Amino acid sequence: MNGPRERDWQVLLLGGASGTGKSQLSYPLARRYGVPLVEVDDLVLAVQKMTTPDQQPMLHYWDTHPDPGSIPVPDVVELQIAIAEALRPALDAVVGNHLETDTPVVIEGDYLLPALAAQDFFAGQEVGHRVRAVFLHEPDPDQLAANYLRREPERGQQRTRAQISARYGDWLAGSAEAHGIPVLAARPWATALERLSAVVDHPRERRLSTSKNILKSV
């Protein structure tokens, strides 16, 4: 039986918008490298339970404003970014703890921002480039709507949610590329895990490629 794949990173961040397949990839990816997995959604729930809307208004935003369908899509995307920024101190602490204790982890979630992986504290010589990040991208709202329908058939068509996810995903992809962080196309799905592992194992080679080659290369 083959053991875990060798790695030269301590923390792997797998970001991307909702519906792109992060959860489906993160579990087999963590098993492949023999490391635990942390889901950002669990961290959000923990912080929400320990705070009030007055203390952390952005992290409680969707509890106090439960109808995103009444808000224009661009405004929802701005809110998503603001919520992710509000969560940054907690994510900084989690990543910093894994670096300090030398314990590997895969962290996945919608609220991971490219700037988190690119900041000097994590990406600089202090930690020896031990934080790696890849952002999964699906730009087609129709595909995202189909993904939601397959995953949550009881909720029916979620086209507005898909439009929000596509727009947020485009923003994440643009921000990641601006920071020199690899962006991976979610499709073709049959090769997604192998392509993701290739990007994780050889990030510099991928950055030397054009954006389209990074997105689609195997």
Q: What is the pLDDT of residues 70-113, one digit of tens each?
A: 899 999 999 999 999 999 999 999 999 999 999 999 999 999 99
209: pLDDT confidence band, cut at 50, 70 and 90?
Answer: very low
3: pLDDT confidence band, cut at 50, 70 and 90?
Answer: confident
Alpha-carbon distance of 15 to 18, in angstroms, equals: 9
Amino acid 70: pLDDT? 87
Write phi, then psi, for 156 (nearest 5 degrees). 70, -160
Q: What is the dihedral of CA 48, 53, 58, 63, to 10 degrees?
A: 70
Amino acid 129: pLDDT? 64
67: pLDDT confidence band, cut at 50, 70 and 90?
Answer: confident
Q: Could you give all domains of the chain from N- to C-terminal order, each with its CATH number?
A: 11-216 (3.40.50.300)
Could you read off the pLDDT of 5-62 as tens digits, one per residue?
A: 999 999 999 999 999 999 999 999 999 999 999 999 999 999 999 999 999 999 999 9
Q: At what angle do helices 159-178 and 73-100 cross, to 10 degrees?
A: 50
Question: Among 114-123, 186-195, 204-213, whose mean pLDDT is lowest?
Answer: 204-213
Amino acid 204: pLDDT? 64
Amino acid 128: pLDDT? 47
123 pLDDT above the threshold of 60: no
125 pLDDT above the threshold of 90: no
Amino acid 211: pLDDT? 44
Amino acid at 83: I
- By DSSP bridging, strand 11-16 and strand 37-39 are unpaired
Length of the chain: 218
